[in-house]
Amino acid sequence: MNLATRSAPIAAIATAPGRGAVGIVRVSSPQPLLELAEALTAAKLKPRHAHYGPFKAEDGSPIDHGLALHFPAPHSYTGEHVLELQAHGGAVILQLLLARVLQLLPAARLAEPGEFTQRAFLNGKLDLAQAEAVADLIDASTETAARSAARALDGALSREVNELRDALIQLRLFVEATLDFPEEEDVEFVQQADVQGQLKGLLERVQAILARTRQGALLREGLKVVLAGQPNVGKSALLNALAGAELAIVTPIAGTTRDALASHIQIDGVPLHITDTAGLRDTEDMVERIGVQRSWAAIADADVVLFLHDLTRLQDADYQREDARIREQLAAHDGNLERHLLHAYNKADAACAQAAPEGALAFSAQTGEGLQRLRAELLRRVGWQALPEGLFIARERHVRALAGTAEHLVLALEQVSLRQPPLDLVAEELRLAHDQLGAITGQFSADDLLGEIFSRFCIGK
């Protein structure tokens, strides 16, 4: 985002492209907007009251009839003077209204993606975690994700981070005050102030929030699951069963699926991005061979690879040989694959089905038998726990910042545990931990980070 133009008025269509009952044009400016409002509506707008009437073109003819709302600074979303024009949701009407705004306000420019929310952050209306939650609330794909994003927007994550930061500041004050009085015994100070106990308490709190934040990040990002295995083991049937719809063609003919087929579902409110892949086998068919290559690409990007087996063919020598070959390929493809490889055995309902290995996941994509256990195991593999109300949505950068905070607190604790604790090193680790926490709410944020975050917002927000 062009940081040199932050003070210019901005305008944009704030509703999604296309036709709708209502469309909104939004304007935000450091300078008052009453003259603009009066020129558009031929009326004096009362702050925060809706005014209904025509929006006038340059020649005085109506562009449309709708509602105008004026929010004087600082009592607005951005903290600046804001004017919102609610018209009918036709693309042409909104473009005419936006053009008229820019004509009446020559200093204004079109808003960049996320710029209204960025100004809200820069003007202290939201911290950075809350600003990110705005986009997460818009993008939420499940009810659980939407509720969690709303809690983050309300400041749930920020409050917990700020409480940690305040406690850390107090501990930093103790440590740095001692550095100013070198005649005092460091060991005696550490014991009297129980620095070690305070650090342990802080570390436990950070780790607890980190665990919840990882859950929140999973809610936001979703879980990438790839269905893999030999041809005709029931991958497409399982995709259809999990999605509750006939998304993939299912036939007894091996090699029916020749390309990756993706579907988005949810389990217990967690979004799942499931990819059905071509059966992993050597083939002379050029199209199917390309599909197999795409299968391996999807496997490399998966959070969980659900490797399906056919209970009706477990004793077949050719099937066993091919199964062993695929396992070798999987291991060679990713040395750490076993940590996110989940074996499951399909066709448990078949009359000729053999017994699955002891403790293995057996199910039937045809009847639904065992699917609930399979769903639960998918979530368990990525560390999801059904937490009570209070979970907030989070991002990967929040997880990294909290993990970094924990690392610095561990190092500080190691230094404090020495017989002669080097308090200057302890103070430095506490400062670095403080910086990591500040990055979550935007207390310490580089401009390039802000640009990266807000550029992912939709225009008009």
**How would DSSP label each residue in 274-320?**
EEE-------S-HHHHHHHHHHHHHHHT-SEEEEEEETTSTT-HHHH
pLDDT of residue 387: 57
Q: Which pLDDT score, from 0 to 100, does residue 401 have?
A: 93
User: Is 452 a member of any domain?
Assistant: no
**Number of folded domains in the chain?**
2
**320 and 372 share one domain:** yes
**Does 141 lie in the same domain as 117?**
no
Same domain for 175 and 210, yes or no, is yes
**For residue 327, what is the domain's CATH number?**
3.40.50.300
**Is the bond into 388 cis (omega within 30 degrees of 0)?**
no
Contacts of 177 (CB under 8 A, 6+ apart): none
Q: Are the beta carbons of 363 and 371 closer than 8 angstroms?
A: yes
pTM for the structure as a whole: 0.74
Same domain, 17 and 84: yes
Whether 63 and 189 map to the same domain: the answer is: no
Judging by DSSP bridges, how do beta strands 10-13 and 20-29 pair with one another?
antiparallel
Asked whether residue 104 is assigned to any structural domain, the reply reads: yes
Residue keyed to tokens 């496997």: 299
- Asked if 239 and 138 sit in the same domain, the reply is yes
Looking at the fold, whether 109 and 165 belong to one and the same domain comes out as no
Domain boundaries, position 41: 3-127
Residues 142 and 110 in one domain: no
How many percent of the chain have pLDDT more than 90? 38
Are 168 and 262 in a shared domain? yes
251: left (phi over 0), alpha (psi -120 to 50) or beta: beta
**Quick one: pLDDT at residue 195?**
80
Residue 65 three-state SS: strand
Rounded to the nearest 10 degrees, how much is the dihedral formed by the CA atoms of 406, 132, 141, 459? -160
Mean pLDDT, the chain cut into blocks of 10 residues (461 residues total): 66 90 95 94 94 94 95 95 95 94 94 92 92 88 84 90 90 78 57 79 92 84 84 84 59 44 80 77 58 69 85 88 79 64 90 85 90 89 66 86 94 86 87 91 68 75 74
Indicate the residue among 127, 150, 182 that finishes a domain: 127
Q: Exposure of 383 by Cβ count < 10 A (0-12 exposed, 13-18 middle, 19+ buried)?
A: exposed
Non-local CB neighbours of 137 within 8 Å, separated by 6+ positions:
146, 149, 150, 153
Query: According to the model, what pLDDT value does residue 81 have?
Result: 96
Same-domain status, 206 and 74 = no
Q: Which residues pair with 307 in a beta bridge?
A: 228, 343
Q: What's the angle, vertex CA 137, arms to CA 131 and CA 140, rounded to 5?
A: 140
